[in-house]
């Protein structure tokens, strides 16, 4: 588990460790925190740097607006599009809410989804 350790608006995590986990084939990445259409308050590295061809995780983004793919600008990809549209890298799926996220319901949804797939 990785978490913020400072009060910085955006915090850079140990991306080398995260890259190693992704390269080794982690199947699920769950993010729980502040987010926008363009990113998270914790930087988990750019999917273009993951080196994970053939090993694509599912990303669960429990944050506000990170699932909003209907932005007015078509020249800039949303965070969810960045993760799934990159060729031979990134994620196989990006599960997120397109609007405001309620922490209680995001947690319940994620918990039930994980339990469902463990059966």
- How confident is the model over 66-90, as pLDDT tens digits? 888 877 666 678 888 899 999 999 9
Q: Is residue 2 part of a domain?
A: no
Cα dihedral 33/39/44/47 (nearest 10): 140
Domain presence at residue 48: yes
Q: How many CA atoms lie within 13 A of 98 on its CB side?
A: 5
Domain limits for position 24: 11-118
- Residue 33: its pLDDT value, please? 82
Segment 39-58, tens digit of pLDDT? 887 777 788 888 899 999 99
111 in any annotated domain: yes
Determine, yes or no, domain membership for 81: yes
Q: Model pTM?
A: 0.80
- Count of domains for the chain: 1
Any domain includes 38: yes
What CATH number has the domain bearing residue 85?
A: 3.40.50.1460
């Amino acid at each position: 588990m990785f978490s913020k350790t400072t009060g910085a608006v955006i915090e850079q995590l140990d991306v080398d460790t995260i890259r190693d986990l992704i390269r080794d084939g982690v199947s699920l990445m769950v993010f729980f925190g502040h987010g926008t259409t363009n990113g998270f308050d914790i930087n988990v590295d750019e999917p273009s740097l993951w080196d994970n061809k053939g090993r694509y995780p599912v990303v669960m983004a429990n944050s506000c607006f990170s699932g909003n793919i209907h932005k007015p600008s078509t020249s800039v990809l949303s965070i969810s599009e960045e993760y799934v549209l990159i060729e031979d890298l990134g994620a196989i799926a990006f599960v997120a809410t397109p609007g405001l996220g309620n922490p209680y319901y995001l947690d319940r949804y994620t918990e039930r989804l994980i339990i469902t797939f463990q059966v």
